[in-house]
């Protein structure tokens, strides 16, 4: 296939890019809950560390945006915020419910979302086509 690039994705990256709904949106706490069950991390905090690394890489590649939602308002996290922010500033593990929750902060945030870009959708589609044609 001349002219087509070979896309290689680690399993966790594939899951992160495949998780969002048809509009390309996903709640980070819901995503973390899914990944925790899917990959059986030893602790939620190991998952958080790995997910942060993958999300930062995907963000740098132009695959996603991170945004905060409050009621019906949404605000993208700026470059300078994302460079200094940790996922642990945005979400927390709830031992009682064994799930991830949005960390309470001011101003109030109802959810933390990722929004996929067209580049992410295109490369994921290419990856899935390559994966099915190689089997």
Q: Is 4 inside any structural domain?
A: no
Structure tokens at 19: 């998780």
Q: Is 28 inside any structural domain?
A: yes
Q: Is 109 inside any structural domain?
A: yes
Q: Is 45 inside any structural domain?
A: yes
Domain assignment of residue 74, given as a range: 20-133
pLDDT value of residue 50: 94
pLDDT value of residue 4: 59
Residue 29 pLDDT exceeds 60: yes
Residue 81 pLDDT exceeds 60: yes
Region 80-93: what's the mean pLDDT?
90
Global pTM value: 0.86
Q: Is 74 inside any structural domain?
A: yes
CA distance 114 to 27: 7
- Tell me the DSSP string of 59-108: HHTTSEEEEEEETTEEEEPPHHHHHH--HHHHEEEETTTTEEEEPP-SS-
Q: Is 14 inside any structural domain?
A: no
Q: Is 83 inside any structural domain?
A: yes
User: Measuring CA to CA, how many Å separate 92 from each of 41, 56, 104, 119?
Assistant: 16, 18, 9, 30
pLDDT value of residue 37: 92
Q: Is 51 inside any structural domain?
A: yes
Count of structural domains, the chain:
1
Residue 109: closest CA among 68, 75, 80:
68
């Amino acid at each position: 296939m001349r002219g087509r690039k070979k896309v290689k994705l680690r399993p966790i990256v594939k899951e992160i890019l495949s998780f969002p709904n048809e509009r390309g949106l996903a709640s980070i706490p819901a995503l973390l809950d899914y990944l925790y069950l899917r990959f059986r991390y030893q602790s939620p905090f190991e998952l958080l560390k790995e997910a942060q690394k993958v999300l930062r890489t995907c963000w740098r590649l132009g695959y996603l945006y991170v945004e905060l939602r409050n009621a019906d308002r949404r605000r993208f996290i700026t470059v300078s915020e994302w460079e200094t922010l940790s996922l642990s500033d945005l979400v927390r593990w709830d031992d009682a419910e064994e799930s991830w929750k949005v960390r309470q902060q001011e101003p109030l945030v109802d959810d933390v979302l990722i929004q996929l870009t067209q580049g992410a959708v295109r490369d994921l589609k290419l990856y899935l086509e390559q994966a099915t044609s190689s089997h």
